[in-house]
Structure 1
């Protein structure tokens, strides 16, 4: 079902369809919401795919569930492990809990407390590290060496990407005649899954990625034609700090129309708008697409645009507009 390309295993659309059936008992088919106010503000018809209502509060439950439930009994018995700033950590913990297997997660000590609490609530074991990619990966290597657990990468994993592709599969079924889809990008798992699905079911839909200006390595990578990785960028969008990897880069470079960026202030303003106008809880990373649409109205004006709200795991005691 997969294609071997050099050292990569690239998932196919068949993998997405298999994933969709495999994970149905463990995920929600999330709703699509609209806002007249935001349509008038942007001049576009916006359709928000609300993965903030997903199991574990984020789209990553899709990829994590697909990875966990595709394991053989022998591999599953050893358990799974990952490194993550939050949503993949708690999503993998959720999926492992549903299968009844152990899970260990390496998280930066700066990760939101709400996400740490959720990981532990789902039965995950947390090993903390410094808030940099190098510290995360070195700490994780030690965890796997000691446990022998199956590594489920937060995004550079064909099982995970196939699972994330089920989100846009649903969106395309829920909304007719979409012309564009915008999703946040950090490591690129959601964007890769979106590319994989839409290039097969609706190849005319343009795919845009949205990224914080303070962590714009994916945008710089796309324009340079090769991966550029920042080690420890600082942004309110904590879920978008990680860089592209070879597998996600494959999808980004071949299918993404452009990567648009937004400043920290623009991200917080967009987040506040969605909270106020749509009355839904979503995290800063999820606000980046709307921030870039507002900033680049000329691109989206008059278009039917799918906007993926990736998660709702925000620390309610530490909202960004309450900071001094």
Structure 2
């Protein structure tokens, strides 16, 4: 059984292994609330996952340790298990979906684990790990559906109450539910009035659907940039704990997640992966009621693949109205481009790309399309520029 004593014991075991992460104020995330960030993206291995993995491995018998451990993960649990196994001097094999970011795969290898890449998503890696466990007799370290793992993650709840005793709400990313189960259990036992909200990606709403329908449900597929929480089926134990202790679980879109990643970079100088930014996205876009409250957004991980970071930033810029792409139908004669660019410049827009197209078959023979990409302040700024262009006689397509 999960107990508060077990979470306190996990905190004692972990005190010389992990770092208690900072709680920092983030007043611009949502001006209507007092928002703080729990920076687990700055944890060793770049994620909270090392807490649960290390505590679970520390509780194994000598006989179990001799046979080694096996795990499956989209990346962060893999690194936690690999580090924990190395510190305990035991062998680890990690099954990772082949869609996981290369950076996470390589980091897992650097921590000393043997990596087995599996075609598909997390659930496929899980099936392969179970098969290998049966063949080798190694102990399977579940990423979320395990009391010791949940207790390890619950140490974050203890830290939060020490750092901000009068917090009103905490917003937590949800994949399989291990993190929110531990955090919710610890907080609700010590401060029942504190609200605990979960956040999933809209492309992977397994816990949302299960809690709504009051039964565990599996998704046929998942699709989200938040690979760390792309889980088809919530755990048996985590579903039960969430049903009892979590107040609400909501979803955010990939565009909202991208905006949150960009906001953390610009405003807080923090790097978060997609799964790590969903709590901030929920606060940014008012997915839960936090008006007038002291609320903590749990930034659960920072292991984003740098190769997709630029794409995420571009999506975030578009979502925030910081970048605009407009097409104007023009008569193909001298001076047209000058007139358009002068209006944009006078209103403070910054043109970053232009494409002149005379070849579209739907145009008049003496017309052209002008495609312009520009940097803008926000959506109101975009509308201001469009209105000025229209007033000057230009036709926006």
Which category describes the TM-score, using the shorter chain as reference length?
A: over 0.9
Q: 2:99 aligns to what SS in structure 1? A: coil
- Please say if residues 98 and 121 of structure 2, whose CA atoms lie closer than 8 Å, have aligned partners that are also in contact: no
Could you tell me which residue of structure 2 aligns to residue 5 of structure 1? none
Q: Which has the larger radius of gyration?
A: 2
Q: 2:96 aligns to what SS in structure 1? A: strand
- 1:231 is displaced (CA, Å) by 4.3
Could you tell me which residue of structure 2 aligns to residue 255 of structure 1? 245
1:162 matched to 2:127? The reply is no
- Measured in 2, the distance between the counterparts of 1:294 and 1:323 equals 18
Could you tell me which residue of structure 1 aligns to residue 295 of structure 2? 305
Could you tell me which residue of structure 2 aligns to residue 232 of structure 1? 221
Q: 1:228 aligns to what SS in structure 2? A: coil
Of 182, 206, 223, which aligns to 1:217? Answer: 206
1:143 matched to 2:132? The reply is yes
1:86 matched to 2:47? The reply is no
Of 105, 111, 123, which aligns to 1:122? Answer: 111
- Measured in 2, the distance between the counterparts of 1:192 and 1:44 equals 24
1:14 matched to 2:5? The reply is yes
Could you tell me which residue of structure 2 aligns to residue 316 of structure 1? 306
Could you tell me which residue of structure 2 aligns to residue 152 of structure 1? 141
Alignment of 1:18-97 (within 5 A): 18-40=9-31, 43-97=32-86
For these two proteins, the number of residue pairs brought into alignment is 313
- Please say if residues 133 and 232 of structure 1, whose CA atoms lie closer than 8 Å, have aligned partners that are also in contact: no
Could you tell me which residue of structure 2 aligns to residue 278 of structure 1? 268
- Measured in 1, the distance between the counterparts of 2:258 and 2:313 equals 10
The runs of at least 4 consecutive aligned structure 1 residues that moved more than 4 Å come to none
- Measured in 1, the distance between the counterparts of 2:50 and 2:170 equals 20
- Measured in 2, the distance between the counterparts of 1:193 and 1:17 equals 11
- 1:318 is displaced (CA, Å) by 2.1
Of 287, 290, 293, which aligns to 2:283? Answer: 293
Q: 1:29 aligns to what SS in structure 2? A: coil
- Measured in 2, the distance between the counterparts of 1:321 and 1:53 equals 20
- 1:276 is displaced (CA, Å) by 0.8
Computed over aligned residues only, the root mean square deviation of the Cα atoms, in angstroms, reads: 1.5
Deviation per residue, 1:107-148 (Å, 9 max, x gap): 000101111011000001111112235522331122112321
Could you tell me which residue of structure 2 aligns to residue 8 of structure 1? none
Q: 1:19 aligns to what SS in structure 2? A: helix
Q: Relative to total residues, which structure has the larger helix share, 1 or 2?
A: 1
Q: 2:90 aligns to what SS in structure 1? A: coil
- Please say if residues 131 and 232 of structure 1, whose CA atoms lie closer than 8 Å, have aligned partners that are also in contact: no
- 1:287 is displaced (CA, Å) by 1.1
- Measured in 1, the distance between the counterparts of 2:169 and 2:19 equals 23
Pick closer, same or farther for the CA change 1:112–1:323 going to 2, 3 Å: farther
Gaps of 5+ in 2: 316-397
Deviation per residue, 1:238-274 (Å, 9 max, x gap): 0111121110001111111111111110110111101
Deviation per residue, 1:39-60 (Å, 9 max, x gap): 42xx111111100111111001
Pick closer, same or farther for the CA change 1:53–1:291 going to 2, 3 Å: same
Report which structure shows greater RCO (CA 8 Å, sep ≥6): 1
- Please say if residues 18 and 44 of structure 2, whose CA atoms lie closer than 8 Å, have aligned partners that are also in contact: yes
- 1:290 is displaced (CA, Å) by 1.4
- 1:322 is displaced (CA, Å) by 5.5
Q: 2:266 aligns to what SS in structure 1? A: helix
Q: 2:203 aligns to what SS in structure 1? A: helix
- Please say if residues 133 and 231 of structure 1, whose CA atoms lie closer than 8 Å, have aligned partners that are also in contact: no
Of 177, 200, 204, which aligns to 2:189? Answer: 200
- Measured in 2, the distance between the counterparts of 1:303 and 1:311 equals 24
Gaps of 5+ in 1: 3-10
Deviation per residue, 1:21-45 (Å, 9 max, x gap): 01111101110111222242xx111
Of 87, 93, 117, which aligns to 1:98? Answer: 87
Of 215, 236, 240, which aligns to 1:246? Answer: 236
Could you tell me which residue of structure 2 aligns to residue 269 of structure 1? 259
